């Protein structure tokens, strides 16, 4: 499992909270920040995540954090759509 995969999984479990590189590094128990930075930079360019200066969900500092892009918009197919 790559560092990026682990970050995705971690963010998913945290339910839409954003975290800075350093807190992600600690959460994943990694020694070096560099691979975390590389992964968050790449993920921030994807359509699923964005990288923004916001308050980190772990340390509470305003930093460059990685967020799920669709955290507020939840598409629930089925029960909530009243097509009938």
Q: Who's near 71: CB < 8 A, 6+ residues apart?
A: 16
The number of residues that bind Zn ion (CB under 5 A) is: 5
Which member of 51, 58, 64, 71 binds Zn ion (CB under 5 A)? 58
Which string of x and - marks every residue 12-51 that binds Zn ion (by CB under 5 A)?
--------x--x----------------------------
Which residue, 32 or 81, has its beta carbon nearer to Zn ion? 32
Q: How far apart are the first and last CA of the chain?
A: 43
Strand ranges of the sheet holding 49-55, from the earlier edge strand across to the other edge: 19-20, 62-68, 49-55
Q: At residue 49, what are phi and psi to the nearest 5 degrees?
A: -125, 160
Which member of 7, 8, 43, 56 binds Zn ion (CB under 5 A)? 56
Pick the stretch among 10-18, 36-44, 52-60, 71-79 that binds Zn ion (CB under 5 A). 52-60
């Amino acid at each position: 499992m790559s560092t990026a995969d682990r970050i995705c999984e971690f963010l998913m479990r945290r339910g839409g909270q954003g975290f800075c590189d350093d807190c992600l590094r600690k959460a994943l128990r990694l020694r070096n920040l560099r691979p975390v930075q590389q992964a968050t930079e790449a993920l921030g360019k994807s359509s699923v995540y964005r990288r923004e200066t916001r308050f980190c969900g772990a340390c509470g500092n305003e930093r460059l954090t990685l967020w799920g892009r669709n955290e507020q918009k939840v598409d629930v197919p089925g029960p909530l759509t009243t097509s009938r």
